[in-house]
Amino acid sequence: MKRIGILSSHNGSGFDTILEACENKILDAQVVLVISNNSNAKVLEKASKKDIPNFVINTKKYPNENLDEKITNLMLEFKIDYIFLSGYMKKIEKNLLEKFPNKIINSHPALLPKFGGNGMYGRFVHEAVIKAKEKESGCTIHFVNENYDEGEYLLQKSISLLQDEKVETLEEKIKELEKVAVVEAFLKLTI
């Protein structure tokens, strides 16, 4: 059984998706660790309710420490096989990338390479897609490397946009699509 660590900054909808797939035996895996940079993140509450160890690692709590090293050490201590970024708003740094090559996975709410990079997350992506008058959008599940949204793709799923698509409706559609794509991507990794 593979061991999954989650990095999340807010609600952790990807955490919910992976946890449900593990609990329903769709994935032969378990979520064993949650780390957030936000002490108010709802994902921490969710993890606590499921008795999953969870930690807050940020500069407020550890002002003089190397946070990348701290996160990496926890991932190693918990013997993590794969790390999933569930709305994690910090750039992944060198230490973690070196210790977990092709083991850190992200879901991006667009069809990369379009609408990726620094500052392109959540609602900003959907606004850009609509402004560009794209006929389709989707999500990309990819490995994480040293650059935002440039790692090797595991899979992409697409949907057609309505002629009068709104940011809110597109966002909801992509969230639903991501739920399916995340599980498929982990299954592809033979979990």
- Classify strands 29-36 and 2-8 as parallel, antiparallel or unpaired: parallel
**Which residues, 6+ apart, have CB-to-CB distance to 30 below 8 Å?**
1, 2, 3, 4, 22
Handedness of CA 65, 66, 67, 71 (dihedral sign): negative
**Which residues, 6+ apart, have CB-to-CB distance to 70 below 8 Å?**
57, 62
108 is annotated as an active-site residue: yes
Q: In the chain, count H helices and then E strands.
A: 6, 7
Catalytic residue among 10, 108, 126, 142: 108
Which residues are known to be catalytic?
108
